[in-house]
Amino acid sequence: MAKASSKKKAEEKKPEYIHVTFNRPRQYSWSTGRYLGHFYAEAKENKRIVGNRCPKCKDIWLPPTPVCPKCKVDMGWDWAELPQTGEVYQYTYLVMPLWDPHYGEKWANPYPSAIILLDNGVFYRHRLEETDKDKLRAGIRVQAVWKEDYEERGHGMADILYFKTIDEQEAKRCLQ
Protein backbone atom coordinates (compact mmCIF):
# COMPACT_ATOMS: atom_id res chain seq x y z
CA MET A 1 0.00 0.00 0.00
CA ALA A 2 2.78 2.44 1.01
CA LYS A 3 4.72 1.45 -2.09
CA ALA A 4 1.86 2.26 -4.38
CA SER A 5 1.31 5.66 -2.84
CA SER A 6 4.98 6.65 -3.15
CA LYS A 7 4.95 5.55 -6.77
CA LYS A 8 1.97 7.78 -7.34
CA LYS A 9 3.79 10.68 -5.67
CA ALA A 10 6.82 10.17 -7.92
CA GLU A 11 4.60 10.56 -10.94
CA GLU A 12 3.22 13.79 -9.58
CA LYS A 13 6.59 15.41 -8.85
CA LYS A 14 9.97 14.09 -10.03
CA PRO A 15 12.62 14.01 -7.32
CA GLU A 16 15.70 16.07 -8.08
CA TYR A 17 18.26 13.32 -8.30
CA ILE A 18 21.79 14.28 -9.36
CA HIS A 19 23.07 12.19 -12.19
CA VAL A 20 26.83 11.72 -12.52
CA THR A 21 28.62 9.99 -15.38
CA PHE A 22 32.22 8.94 -15.05
CA ASN A 23 33.03 7.96 -18.62
CA ARG A 24 34.11 11.41 -19.76
CA PRO A 25 36.97 13.73 -18.79
CA ARG A 26 36.57 15.85 -15.69
CA GLN A 27 35.29 19.33 -16.44
CA TYR A 28 37.39 21.77 -14.45
CA SER A 29 36.95 25.49 -14.25
CA TRP A 30 39.42 27.90 -12.68
CA SER A 31 39.12 31.67 -12.19
CA THR A 32 41.99 33.97 -13.13
CA GLY A 33 40.77 36.89 -11.03
CA ARG A 34 41.11 40.54 -12.01
CA TYR A 35 44.88 40.93 -12.25
CA LEU A 36 45.81 37.67 -13.95
CA GLY A 37 42.64 38.17 -16.04
CA HIS A 38 44.22 41.32 -17.49
CA PHE A 39 47.34 39.32 -18.37
CA TYR A 40 45.09 36.78 -20.14
CA ALA A 41 43.22 39.52 -22.02
CA GLU A 42 46.42 41.21 -23.22
CA ALA A 43 47.79 37.88 -24.41
CA LYS A 44 44.64 36.98 -26.29
CA GLU A 45 43.80 40.39 -27.75
CA ASN A 46 47.23 41.90 -28.38
CA LYS A 47 49.82 39.11 -28.09
CA ARG A 48 51.47 41.06 -25.30
CA ILE A 49 53.18 39.89 -22.10
CA VAL A 50 52.24 42.27 -19.33
CA GLY A 51 53.26 42.62 -15.71
CA ASN A 52 52.26 45.17 -13.12
CA ARG A 53 54.39 47.78 -11.39
CA CYS A 54 54.54 48.41 -7.65
CA PRO A 55 53.78 52.06 -6.80
CA LYS A 56 56.40 51.97 -4.04
CA CYS A 57 59.43 49.93 -5.18
CA LYS A 58 58.60 50.26 -8.91
CA ASP A 59 59.46 46.58 -9.48
CA ILE A 60 57.52 44.83 -12.21
CA TRP A 61 55.87 41.58 -11.13
CA LEU A 62 55.08 38.61 -13.30
CA PRO A 63 52.63 36.96 -12.83
CA PRO A 64 50.82 40.19 -11.99
CA THR A 65 49.84 40.52 -8.37
CA PRO A 66 47.27 42.61 -6.46
CA VAL A 67 49.74 43.18 -3.58
CA CYS A 68 53.49 43.75 -3.86
CA PRO A 69 55.11 40.73 -2.14
CA LYS A 70 58.04 42.84 -0.93
CA CYS A 71 56.37 46.15 0.05
CA LYS A 72 52.99 44.65 1.09
CA VAL A 73 51.13 47.54 -0.57
CA ASP A 74 48.20 47.53 -3.01
CA MET A 75 49.59 47.49 -6.52
CA GLY A 76 46.96 49.73 -8.07
CA TRP A 77 46.58 49.39 -11.85
CA ASP A 78 49.93 50.30 -13.37
CA TRP A 79 50.75 47.92 -16.23
CA ALA A 80 53.99 47.43 -18.12
CA GLU A 81 54.42 45.66 -21.42
CA LEU A 82 57.37 43.26 -21.24
CA PRO A 83 59.82 42.51 -24.03
CA GLN A 84 59.26 39.26 -25.89
CA THR A 85 62.94 38.55 -26.22
CA GLY A 86 65.43 37.55 -23.60
CA GLU A 87 68.02 34.97 -22.73
CA VAL A 88 67.86 31.52 -21.23
CA TYR A 89 68.91 31.93 -17.61
CA GLN A 90 68.40 28.36 -16.37
CA TYR A 91 66.98 25.38 -18.17
CA THR A 92 66.30 21.70 -17.92
CA TYR A 93 65.72 19.05 -20.50
CA LEU A 94 63.25 16.37 -19.42
CA VAL A 95 63.23 13.01 -21.11
CA MET A 96 61.11 11.23 -18.53
CA PRO A 97 57.35 11.41 -19.05
CA LEU A 98 55.21 13.87 -17.13
CA TRP A 99 51.46 13.52 -16.85
CA ASP A 100 48.89 16.26 -16.70
CA PRO A 101 47.62 15.95 -13.14
CA HIS A 102 44.10 17.04 -14.09
CA TYR A 103 43.34 15.24 -17.32
CA GLY A 104 45.89 12.44 -17.30
CA GLU A 105 47.37 13.33 -20.70
CA LYS A 106 51.05 12.68 -21.28
CA TRP A 107 52.97 15.87 -21.89
CA ALA A 108 55.26 16.34 -24.89
CA ASN A 109 58.61 14.66 -24.49
CA PRO A 110 61.50 15.48 -24.62
CA TYR A 111 60.61 18.68 -22.97
CA PRO A 112 62.97 21.64 -22.52
CA SER A 113 61.73 24.03 -19.85
CA ALA A 114 63.53 27.28 -19.10
CA ILE A 115 63.62 30.30 -16.91
CA ILE A 116 63.99 33.15 -19.34
CA LEU A 117 65.44 36.50 -18.35
CA LEU A 118 63.41 38.93 -20.45
CA ASP A 119 65.28 41.94 -21.78
CA ASN A 120 63.93 44.21 -19.05
CA GLY A 121 65.24 41.95 -16.29
CA VAL A 122 61.97 40.15 -15.45
CA PHE A 123 61.99 36.35 -15.28
CA TYR A 124 59.47 34.26 -17.18
CA ARG A 125 59.18 30.50 -17.03
CA HIS A 126 58.30 28.86 -20.33
CA ARG A 127 59.21 26.03 -22.64
CA LEU A 128 61.72 26.15 -25.47
CA GLU A 129 61.33 25.14 -29.10
CA GLU A 130 64.82 23.65 -29.31
CA THR A 131 64.72 19.94 -28.48
CA ASP A 132 68.35 19.18 -29.33
CA LYS A 133 70.05 19.06 -25.93
CA ASP A 134 73.44 19.92 -27.41
CA LYS A 135 72.10 23.23 -28.73
CA LEU A 136 70.83 24.32 -25.32
CA ARG A 137 72.90 26.41 -22.97
CA ALA A 138 72.45 29.28 -20.56
CA GLY A 139 72.66 32.61 -22.32
CA ILE A 140 71.13 31.70 -25.69
CA ARG A 141 68.88 34.42 -27.09
CA VAL A 142 65.21 33.49 -27.41
CA GLN A 143 61.98 35.04 -28.57
CA ALA A 144 58.32 34.26 -27.87
CA VAL A 145 56.32 32.49 -30.60
CA TRP A 146 52.58 33.07 -30.29
CA LYS A 147 49.62 31.03 -31.36
CA GLU A 148 48.55 32.97 -34.44
CA ASP A 149 44.90 31.91 -34.44
CA TYR A 150 42.90 34.33 -32.28
CA GLU A 151 40.35 31.62 -31.48
CA GLU A 152 43.07 29.36 -30.10
CA ARG A 153 44.36 32.02 -27.72
CA GLY A 154 42.81 32.74 -24.32
CA HIS A 155 44.91 30.40 -22.21
CA GLY A 156 47.25 32.92 -20.63
CA MET A 157 50.90 31.94 -20.85
CA ALA A 158 49.94 28.96 -23.04
CA ASP A 159 49.07 31.50 -25.76
CA ILE A 160 52.82 31.48 -26.34
CA LEU A 161 53.72 28.14 -27.93
CA TYR A 162 57.37 28.31 -26.88
CA PHE A 163 60.45 30.52 -27.04
CA LYS A 164 62.57 30.00 -30.16
CA THR A 165 66.32 30.52 -30.45
CA ILE A 166 67.27 33.71 -32.29
CA ASP A 167 70.56 35.32 -33.16
CA GLU A 168 71.68 38.69 -31.86
CA GLN A 169 70.93 40.61 -35.06
CA GLU A 170 67.40 39.29 -35.16
CA ALA A 171 67.02 40.24 -31.49
CA LYS A 172 68.03 43.82 -32.25
CA ARG A 173 65.44 43.99 -35.03
CA CYS A 174 62.78 42.77 -32.59
CA LEU A 175 63.66 45.45 -30.07
CA GLN A 176 63.29 48.27 -32.62
Residues near another protein (CB under 8 A): 28, 30-32, 36, 40, 59, 61-63, 65, 69-70, 89-96, 98-102, 107, 111, 113, 115, 121-127, 133, 138, 156-158
CB of 1 to another protein, least distance (A): 43
| DSSP structural state of residue 76 | T
CA angle 114, 60, 91 (to 5 degrees): 10
User: According to DSSP H, which parts of 47-167 are helical?
Assistant: none
Angstrom distances, CA of residue 69 to CA of 63, 65, 78, 125, 128 = 12, 8, 16, 19, 28
Q: Which is nearer to another protein, 141 or 160 (CB)?
A: 160
Give 83 or 170: the residue with its C-beta nearer to another protein.
Answer: 83
Tell me how far, at minimum, the Cβ of 95 lies from another protein, in Å: 7
**CA distances, 81 to each of 33, 88, 157 (Å):** 19, 20, 14
Q: How far is the CB of 18 from another protein (least distance, A)?
A: 20
Closest contact distance (angstroms) between CB of 22 and another protein is: 16
Comparison of 15 and 101: residue with beta carbon closer to another protein: 101
Cis-peptide into 63, omega within 30 deg: yes
- Paired residues of 43 in beta bridges: none
Q: How far is the CB of 146 from another protein (least distance, A)?
A: 14
Residue 126 has what DSSP assignment?
Answer: E
Give the residue with the Cβ less far from another protein, 155 or 173. 155
Closer to another protein at the Cβ: 107 or 150? 107
CB 142 within 8 A of CB 174: no
